Amino acid sequence: MQQRNPEALLRRLEWTVIRRLDGLLQGDYRTLFRGFGLDLADIREYQYGDDVRHIDWNVTARLQSPYVREYHEDREVSAWFLLDLSQSVAFGSREKRKRSVSEDFVAVLARLLTRHGNRVGALYYGERVSGMIPARSGRRQVLALLQGMQRHAGTKGEGSATDLSELFSHSARFIRRRSLVFAVSDFISAPGWAERLGELALRHEVVAVRLYDPLESELPDLGLLVFQDAETGEQLLVDTHDRGFRARFAEAAQRRETALRAAFRDSGVDALELSTEDDLADALLRFAGLRKRRSRLRPAHDFPVA
C-alpha cells in the first residue's frame, strides 16, 4: 500500500471535511461525544429544582433519601486511538482501502479535538501491540499520530492472525485517567476481544469504529479466483460463478454482522461503521445525530458521565 504524506493528507482534510463539519455542526464538535468533558465532583442531598437525571440511584437506595451527583466541566480531555493496523485492514476492493479510511478518521477527529486544546494519543497494533504515542495537544501531535500509523503497520507473516484482546487488555492497563477511546478496526480477530472491550468501557467512554469494505459481505460473479488470507498467507481456490457458494458467503457475512453488533451491544459501546465507499463527514454527522437521539431516550438513572 502506497503511503500518503501526513501533512498533505491533513491539509486536504482540513479543507474538505473539517470545514464542512464546522459548518454543519456549527462548531459544536461535542455532539459527537455523549457526556463530554464532565467529571464527578460531589454527591449531595437532592434539592428542589435539581436535574433529576443527576440522581444517584445507588446512593439514594442505600440512604433512603434522594441524592444527586454534582459535576464540573473538565476543559482538558484526553482521547486515545486504539489502532488496528494488521494486514486485513490493508484490504480494499476499489480505490480506497480500509487503512486509508482509518487514517482519514484519525486525522479528522484528532484535529477537531486538538484545536480545542484537548490531548490525543494512540496505541498501535500491527502484528502485536507495537508502539504508543503519549497524549499531547497541537497540530504536530496529529501529524505524529499519522506518521505512527505508517511506521507501525503490520506486514504479512505466517500465523500472525490478529488478536484484538491483546490491544484492549494493554490499553486498559495503560490508560489510567478516564478518557475518550476510539477502537478503530475491522474487528476481524481471534475471539475473546468483546469481553476485553467491555472491560475497557467500564472505565472509559468507548466508541468502536468498525472499518469494512462492501466486497466483504457480497461476492460478485467473477469466475475462478484465488483468495489469500492477508495475515496468514493461506490460499484457497474458489468458484465465484457458483451461486450456492455466493449465497453461503453472503449468509456467513450476515452471521458475522449479527455477531459483531451483538458484541458491541454487550460491550456497552456505540459503534460507528465506516465503509471504504463512505463520505466521512456524512458518516460522522449520522453518528452524532444517532448519539443525540439515544441520549434523549436514556433513562434518568443511567445518565452518562465522562
Collapsing DSSP states into helix, strand and coil, what is residue 149? helix
CA 57 to chain centre: 30
- Cell for 101? 479510511
172/29 Cα distance (integer angstroms): 26
**Per-residue pLDDT, 287:** 85
Q: Is 10 within 8 Å of 142 (Cβ atoms)?
A: yes
For the chain, the structural domain boundaries read 6-29+75-302, 38-73
What are the tens digits of pLDDT across the range 215-273?
998 888 888 888 777 767 778 888 888 888 889 989 999 999 999 999 999 999 999 99
Q: Around Cβ 120, how many Cβ atoms within 10 Å?
A: 29
188/211 Cα distance (integer angstroms): 10
Give the whole-number percent of the chain exceeding pLDDT 90. 47
Question: The domain 6-29+75-302 is classified under which CATH number: 1.10.150.20, 3.40.30.10, 3.40.50.2000, 3.40.50.410?
Answer: 3.40.50.410
What are the tens digits of pLDDT across the range 98-148?
999 999 999 999 999 998 888 999 999 988 898 999 999 999 999 999 999
Q: Is 172 within 8 Å of 129 (Cβ atoms)?
A: no
What are the tens digits of pLDDT across the range 26-72?
545 555 655 444 555 578 888 887 777 778 888 888 888 898 877 65
Q: Taken in order 152, 271, 197, 277, is the CA torsion positive or negative?
A: negative
CA 162 to chain centre: 17
